[in-house]
Each structure stands twice: as C-alpha cells, then as structure tokens.
Structure 1
C-alpha cells in the first residue's frame, strides 16, 4: 500500500458519500481521477487488504428493532449441513460455529433480525423445524453500543 491507498482507505472507512457519483466525490477529496479510485479499491479487495466492500443498513432506523442471537446445540458431525441450512434463511445475517465450553453446550450461533421479539421467536422455530435441532436458546439484544467497521 502506498500513501494514496491509505488516503483512500481513510476516506471510505466510514462509508462512501450517498450521491449519484460517490467515487467522483472521493477522487476530488484525495486528488486522483475517479477511475483510479475504482481501480485502486478493486485492487485492495483483490489483494485482501479490504475483505468486503458492501452496504450496511441501519436496521434500527428502519424499524427492525428485535435482534436475537440464537444459540444452537448441534451434533458436531452435522455442523456443516445444519450451518448451511441456517445461513440460507434470509433473516439470518450471521452464522458462526464456535467451540463448546464447560457449562455452555452451544456450538452454532445465528443472528436474526426482525420487527418484533415474537417474529424472532417464530424464525427460530422455523430454523429448528428445517434443521431438526430442538435444543436452542435465544438471547435478545437490549442495546447497541457500537456498530462500526475496522478503522485504519
């Protein structure tokens, strides 16, 4: 990475401008042509410096206020199969395998977002039905303290 790449990362780490030509705005800010902004961003993604370049919606601001971490006790030999099914639900934004610990039997975790706690519970029941996993818990978010990406 050179100085321009660092400037580019700093100028995009909090999001790109919500305008018809966001990369043109960025190019004016850091003093390079718009096509170079795009080429450099593509290169940073290709080389793994930027893992993901995407959009994020402030779900609370549009009314999606029920957020639940569903914890699942999945037989180890079924984790891949069950994880793929769970990740296929559109309401699931994150699906992770984690190690079990003494006193904590859950090894698969899904984050579900919905408009109400009841809807989260319904989605968890649907996931349970689709996978055959009956041993699960639901942890609801109470407050969001931080939501930002990695900073340079």
Structure 2
C-alpha cells in the first residue's frame, strides 16, 4: 500500500456520491482516473488490505426496526456444523463463537435484523430447526447509541 492508496481510503470512508460516475468524483479529488481508482480498490481487496468494498444500508430507514442477538448453547462437537448453518443463513449478519462463562453457557452468537420482534423470533425458530440446537436466548436491542464505520 502506498500513499495514494491511503489517501484513497480516507476519501472512500466518507462514501460514494450518488452520481452516475462516483469514481470520477474521487479521481478529481485525488488526481487519478476512474480506472486507477477501481484498480487500486481491487488490488487492496486482493491483498487483504480491505476486506470488501460494498454498500451499507441504513436499515432503520428501510423499516428494519428489530435487531436481535441470538445466543446459542452449542455442544463443542457441533460448533463447526452449527456455526456453518447459522453463518449461511441469509437472515444472519454476524456469527461468532465466544467462550462460555460460569453463569453464561452460550458459545455461538448470531445477529439478525427484521421488521418486527416477532419476525426475529421466527428466524430464531427456523435456525433452531435447521441446526438442531434448541437451547438459545434472544436478546433484542433497545436503543442504538452509535453506529459508524472504522475511520483512518
């Protein structure tokens, strides 16, 4: 990664303009052509400097108001299998394994978003059915305090 890549990332973190040629706008700021912008983004993705370059959506503006963290108690011998099932589900945006604690036996965590709490509960039931894991708890978000991407 060179200095121009770093400058590109600084510009990119503020998002694309909704124009027909958004990379042209960045190119004007950085003194590069659109092809170079795209080439540099692809190279940084290929090298693992950035994980992906994609749109993010303000889910609340789209009516997605219910957010649920589902904590699963998965036997150690089924963690990989259940984790793969959960991670493959379209409704799951995040899927993590974490250590258990003495008073907290849950070791797999999935995050789902929906239009209602009822829909989130239905998603949890479907995931339970698919995975065969019936010991879980659904925790709903009550308030969003801060939501921003990492900054350079």
| Global fold match (TM > 0.5) | yes
- Which TM class, normalised by the smaller chain length? over 0.9
2:71, 2:14 → 1: CA distance? 31
| TM-score normalised by structure 1 residue count | 0.95
Q: Deviations over 1:71-90 (max 9, x none)?
A: 00000110111111112221
| TM-score normalised by structure 2 residue count | 0.95
Secondary structure at the residue paired with 2:68?
A: strand
2:41, 2:91 → 1: CA distance? 29
1:109, 1:96 → 2: CA distance? 5
1:15, 1:60 → 2: CA distance? 18
Report what 1:144 is aligned to: 144
Report what 2:22 is aligned to: 22
Task: Map 1:1-152 onto structure 2 (within 5 A).
Answer: 1-152=1-152
Tell me the matched-pair count: 152
2:132, 2:8 → 1: CA distance? 47
2:137, 2:20 → 1: CA distance? 44
Q: Deviations over 1:99-120 (max 9, x none)?
A: 1122110000110111000110
Deviation at 1:42, TM superposition (A): 1.1
- Structure 1 stretches of 5 or more lacking a match? none
- Structure 2 stretches of 5 or more lacking a match? none
Moved over 3 A (4+): none
